[in-house]
Structure 1
């Protein structure tokens, strides 16, 4: 008896807070006009995607005191956009990144419970942390949280939010059969949390939402992040999009679930993915190269190397060889609001590896940066991309993918029109929504079950 085919999960990321956006492309539209978000959401829903995703940048990234050239300036608030999209969509899930470092559990829980009501059960929360003082300058607790404490706060933040969501759950809560409204009881919404991070008590004023709790996403790839996801998340974002790396990550994270009393189907692995789609594989490769040239200008290439060298490299020719000077040791000062490998590895070792790679391939600075930051996960015709996605999912390198087109809002249109029908023909992707909530789309049980 053959093993049934896994069903593929697909989602769409409206780009903006990342390194893939080409906001200067003539096809790129506004990142603040609501029409852009509506177009993107309608495309995702027409293609029967599980959800759309909005990241959140709490401060514009800077390089040597100037706004980083790939950042999109003027991005509106995530919650506001998702709440507005709830009114113009009916099925597609609405996922937003909300920071656990610079917010409070009551505020965030109230917002997500409200969004779940407004969308009839389609809300999801990507729980993230922040540790850098640069971002913290925008908040009253600027820079107070050491890096090693960020997950301790995140874990208690999420646990506290769950207590708030669940405070309306139980036999004491009932609906009036005549009016459909909730009956008031003495215990409805009552909560009390006394912990190291939060000491709050009161009454939560949003009744139990359709999903009970929003779907929880997590994006950390560190040891702490993986363990946090295995214990708490419904899905984890991943950057591992090749077969071997994906399978290793898949085995590792799914293998952690049992010690938290969970089964493999209770956590989905969803790598972020980009694509270059054309009529033929050759045309797609040419398109991908053109996209990379737009993403990595000469100036961008130099700024990228400055993350490692920690010194001004503006005097170097981006079409020339790598700097012959050694990186400046110490804390990173040029790039602000961007995580870099300097936090984890000796920059001199990184520089040595980059020089060896450039020499072996005879690459200039710009060519090297293009080579090491290549992000087109899927390159080819619709047939090639559909086959590749299906192969990765069936071989347990992922449960699906979160697609981030390099332009918005129309960058998803061709994928929806050409690749999705091929996946449907293979019987590995839905032709119609079978449920109405995001939990149903993702195959996740209701927390009350």
Structure 2
């Protein structure tokens, strides 16, 4: 045990964007395009005093065998457009947009996020993502020009140059680097936050180093306790090399949840949610993502495919291919044999788990435990229903975190940096 003060839990709300998180068959499932859905979820998160509202984004609809899998979310309005509108109907919650550094110029990124920061009174955040995917690049004049090894080089210089524009305001910027040569002016004053908050989600060695050097928040995929502690220690341990302190970077894994009046009730509801998330069609689409072969005639209620995966397949476009598909298939076959699982049951087992399942008291205790034990600094919550899926969490779990003294009763400052406990950057 240590005598350090209790860490404060950070919470954000993710509007589901891709994959099979959303339970479309539920009567409460609403539109992912109508503005009222975004408004409801953002205002619910603000009522719960969350740090920020988060939008993912894809630049091209993902395909399997040239077709769109319509049980995934496949399209919606552009993120910064949505957030600019939300700035008018919210007051304090941060507004975070995912925007690709590969297919956007640093000047336009700096200008768009500075505009959002001014319009919202200092609540803007940029989730920096990269792409070396030629399939996505076909929507742009560059195509798939960027080698995978260069994607973080471009992203790092994009952030650096955006920050130069933010620091300069209306003063001239002269930048010479390996990716960009720019002379120009931002045409806006310096943003209220100095620099809008930078979020990063890469998990490779390059991604972790990029986060340590550049990011304010890491959107981590490590919601398992042991994996979360290892990731937290690894990334925080890299900060000193860049002259940064551990509390200057917040690590917030994505997390799902299912609540019930009792733990048993929640477990029963979670099983229903998992089965609804992984329809027979979704199970086949996921297997094709691993196997790389056409499985249209495969029985989802039968055993796993007997054929070996094709590691060089281009059957699936726009999705990140699961590493080591042959080894993954072998591990899945062993798991299916051990537990007697069909193909669909196997996919449910490996993809459909909720991070937090239980009564409100159980979920509040587990979230607090993760944060106090340095497995995370907080969580970006992804509800399985839009737009009302966060309501129950805000009404039943947030008050218990507040009673524990680990979550704010109200906002203490106007900006997202205030919510996250991040200092205003010095003007360089």
TM-score (norm 2): 0.97
Distance 1:116 1:229 in 2: 22
Q: 1:272·1:402 contact (CA, 8 Å) conserved in 2?
A: yes
Residue 116 of structure 1: CA displacement? 0.4
Residue 279 of structure 1: CA displacement? 0.9
Q: Does 1:444 align with 2:426?
A: no
**Residue 196 (structure 1) aligns with:** 178
Distance 1:366 1:23 in 2: 18
Q: Does 1:313 align with 2:282?
A: no
Distance 1:374 1:51 in 2: 25
Residue 74 of structure 1: CA displacement? 3.8
Distance 2:26 2:341 in 1: 25
Q: What does 1:208-357 correspond to in 2, within 5 Å?
A: 208-330=190-312, 332-341=313-322, 344-345=323-324, 347-357=325-335
Distance 1:99 1:200 in 2: 19
Residue 329 of structure 1: CA displacement? 4.0
Aligned residues: 426
**1:239-264 CA-partner distances (Å, limit 9, x unpaired):** 11122111101100000000111110
Q: 1:20·1:375 contact (CA, 8 Å) conserved in 2?
A: no
Residue 66 of structure 1: CA displacement? 0.9
Q: What does 1:376-395 correspond to in 2, within 5 Å?
A: 376-395=354-373
Distance 1:91 1:257 in 2: 29
Distance 2:420 2:310 in 1: 47
* C-alpha RMSD of matched pairs (Å): 1.2
**1:73-93 CA-partner distances (Å, limit 9, x unpaired):** 440010110001101111000
Q: 1:273·1:402 contact (CA, 8 Å) conserved in 2?
A: yes
Distance 1:420 1:64 in 2: 44
Distance 2:234 2:164 in 1: 29
* Deviates most, 251-260 or 374-383: 374-383
Structure 2: runs of 5+ lacking an equivalent: none
Q: 1:22·1:294 contact (CA, 8 Å) conserved in 2?
A: yes
Distance 1:3 1:195 in 2: 43
Distance 1:155 1:164 in 2: 14
Distance 2:407 2:3 in 1: 19
Residue 110 of structure 1: CA displacement? 0.2
Residue 278 of structure 1: CA displacement? 1.3
**Residue 7 (structure 1) aligns with:** 8
Picking from 410, 416, 420, the partner of 2:394 is 416
Distance 2:401 2:413 in 1: 19
Distance 2:327 2:402 in 1: 47
**Residue 48 (structure 1) aligns with:** 49
Per the alignment, in what secondary structure is the counterpart of residue 14 of structure 2?
strand
**Residue 68 (structure 2) aligns with:** 67
**1:28-68 CA-partner distances (Å, limit 9, x unpaired):** 11111111111111101111000010011111111111102
Per the alignment, in what secondary structure is the counterpart of residue 289 of structure 1?
helix
Per the alignment, in what secondary structure is the counterpart of residue 183 of structure 2?
strand
**Residue 82 (structure 1) aligns with:** 83
**1:353-380 CA-partner distances (Å, limit 9, x unpaired):** 1111111111100000101113300001
* Deviates most, 405-414 or 286-295: 286-295
TM-score (norm 1): 0.93
Distance 1:2 1:253 in 2: 24
**1:369-421 CA-partner distances (Å, limit 9, x unpaired):** 10111330000110110000001100000000000001111000000000000
